[in-house]
Structure 1
Amino acid sequence: MSRIWLPVLLGLICVYAQQCPEKNGRFADPRQCDKYIECEDGVATEKLCPDGLLFNDKARFFSYPCSYPTDVDCTGREATQPPQPSGDCPHQFGYFRMGADATQCGQFMNCADGRGYVFDCPEGLAFDSTTLQCNWPDLVAECDAEGFLGFTCPEEKVSSLGPAGFSASRYFRSPDNDCTKYFICENNRPRMYRCGVGRAFNEFINTCDGPENVTGCA
């Protein structure tokens, strides 16, 4: 072998050795969160997760290594590939809240390979982009709970003998005369509930009751 090529070959071997801390495994790129190095028998191959997914260094070797952002810690390697939007999807993969403003919180889109599929949260819940789950609207920062639910908790009268502020829970019958629907105000923020089939909310006992016991609901 030529003496000129020998140093080059040795240099390449050193690069691969540095990229593969172990003979087999997957290892995070030090700068980019959706990029990783896959090592097989000491040979390193640079790979990239699909747009919208990130490399999960906690995934087992024989499982898929790319996960949604909520499952990955990107501290120190926050860079990602440029977005690849298509249609209604800002990324090829991911969950995204729908709605033009903060009062439209109940729908989200699941994007898979660039195709968007619309889903509804259970009634009364809002989609939280930080956890990718449906939650009480008052706990979702980007949701206007009052506008979304169409209900604002009445101002609470605080006794001069008691502490200032609001009580933990207050119950209210739905103002739209829907006997099965009611609201509970937690720290003066509304949450919507429904009674089961054949039941109606009784505001005098703050629970669901037979409709014959609730005025206007028999």
Structure 2
Amino acid sequence: MPILSTTVIKECTAADSPVAGQPSSVCTRKNTFLVVDGSCDSYVECIEFVPVHKTCPDGLHYDPSVKWPGYPCGYPADVPCKGRGAAQAAEPTKDCPHQFGFFASTAASPNDCGRYRMCVAGHAVEMSCPTGLAFNPILSRCDWPFNVPSCNVDAFLAYKCPAASIDASGNAIVTNHKYEGNCYAFYSCEAGESRLLSCDAGLAFDPTTGYCVDEDRVDCGVKAVPQQSASAALVAPIQI
């Protein structure tokens, strides 16, 4: 999800109509949210014991764990709807399958796995995952490229790991390799799967030892700007 941009989701407006104009037995607490059976994205908001039926914007689900007065709608990746019923009909636009959400970018080249599309109120914004990560359309998150079946990892990272090495116990040995053109970055290989990582601040990759060491001990030439560690970016592209 974080290092990428955030956005403010509009207040629920679809199907906002009172269940009752006066306090009723529906609301046993003064201010709270209630689940609507058979619906992923509808809920009842009790305000001063008066129930009001509401529906999350298209693409979002109602989150029963949210306590009033928090915003009760979340992305499907964070709020699964399994066994809770159905979601409202989609309201697609030319660029977005739903009004809100994260989707694979149709503008990205086949090997550009890090591009994705953020939809806000039906408007698409092209986004990019942190260096070394690919967009996983199943999880709607940036992920390790080898977890994304549609991604050609070798082409995307411009690197192919050597054959996997196994130790005496049969476990895969992790090996690290130089990233040409940036002494702060390196490839980490395990069982033939590659990750593009970067050293912590103040460190640089030493190809002789295969580890990050004090940057003064590494001849970087014209030093490239350190890149952000991909391992810290395995989160949803944005949060509400």
TM-score by length of 2: 0.66
Residue number in structure 1 paired with 2:187 = 183
> Per chain length, whose mean CA-contact separation is higher, i.e. which structure has more relative contact order (CA < 8 Å, sep 6+)?
2
Cα displacement (A) at 1:53: 0.9
**Secondary structure of residue in 1 paired with 2:172:** coil
Residue number in structure 2 paired with 1:107 = 115
- For structure 1, the residue ranges without an aligned partner over 5 or more in a row are 1-11, 213-218
Q: CA 1:40/1:207 → structure 2, altered by over 3 Å: closer, same or farther?
A: closer
Q: CA 1:43/1:190 → structure 2, altered by over 3 Å: closer, same or farther?
A: same
Aligned pairs, number: 193
C-alpha distance in 2 between matches for 1:165 and 1:46: 55
Q: Which amino acid is the alignment partner of residue 79 of structure 2?
A: V
**Secondary structure of residue in 2 paired with 1:71:** coil
Q: Which has the larger radius of gyration?
A: 1
Cα displacement (A) at 1:60: 2.6
- How is 1:43-192 mapped onto 2 (pairs within 5 angstroms)? 43-98=50-105, 103-129=111-137, 131-140=139-148, 142-156=150-164, 162-164=168-170, 166-167=172-173, 169-174=174-179, 177-178=180-181, 180=183, 181-192=185-196
C-alpha distance in 2 between matches for 1:45 and 1:101: 46
Cα displacement (A) at 1:112: 0.9
C-alpha distance in 1 between matches for 2:190 and 2:151: 16
- For structure 2, the residue ranges without an aligned partner over 5 or more in a row are 1-19, 213-217, 222-240
**Secondary structure of residue in 2 paired with 1:62:** coil
TM-score by length of 1: 0.71
Query: C-alpha root-mean-square deviation of aligned residues, in Å?
Result: 3.3
The answer to whether the 8 A contact 1:146-1:189 is kept is: no
Q: Percent identity?
A: 33
Cα displacement (A) at 1:142: 4.9
**Secondary structure of residue in 1 paired with 2:156:** helix
* Correspondence 1:210 to 2:219: yes
Cα displacement (A) at 1:106: 0.4
- Mean Cα deviation higher: 123-132 or 110-119: 123-132
The answer to whether the 8 A contact 2:37-2:85 is kept is: no
